[in-house]
Structure 1
């Protein structure tokens, strides 16, 4: 078999899973209910965030909160302060690609 297969969790519960972590890319899958999200942090690579379901509420650097609906893809530069969360009743589901893969 040439390909390698990865499976995302199908859930309604808070999920943060690293699906791919190699020297080329980090690929994450996240699910957040209302009031859930990530701790404030700085991006450790270029981040490509795709909203698969729901509405993303995000603050980048010193901007005000912005909201992005299903079908939106954001490109967030390296070393950007991020505050990611779900402020809505509908479940928020995201995929996040970090490229190049962050180095320690």
Structure 2
């Protein structure tokens, strides 16, 4: 078999899955319920964030929080301050790709 197969969780429970972490990229799958999210941090690579379901509430650098619905892809530059939250009732599901892969 040439391909590698990876499975993502399918439920509504909080999840932060490091699906692929190699020298080329980092591929993460995240699920957050209302009032859950990531701690505020600075992007350690270029970040490509896809909203799979729900509504993303995100503050970048010093701008106000913006909201993005399912089907939206955000490209966030390296070293951008990020504050990612789910402020809504519906479960938020994200796919995050970091490329190039962070060095540490």
Which band: TM-score by shorter chain? over 0.9
What are the ranges of 5 or more consecutive residues in structure 1 without an aligned counterpart? none
TM-score normalised according to structure 2 size: 0.99
Matched residue, 1:96: 96
Matched residue, 2:35: 35
Matched, 1:78 2:78: yes
Q: Which runs of 4+ in 1 moved over 4 A?
A: none
The separation in 1 between residues aligned to 2:15 and 2:63, in whole angstroms, is 26
Matched residue, 2:60: 60
Matched residue, 1:45: 45
1:11, distance to aligned residue in structure 2 (A): 1.2
What are the ranges of 5 or more consecutive residues in structure 2 without an aligned counterpart? none
TM-score normalised according to structure 1 size: 0.99
Q: CA RMSD in A?
A: 0.3
Matched residue, 1:25: 25
Matched residue, 1:4: 4
**2:18 alignment partner, SS class:** strand
Matched residue, 2:87: 87
Matched residue, 1:13: 13
Aligned residues, how many? Answer: 104
**2:27 alignment partner, SS class:** strand
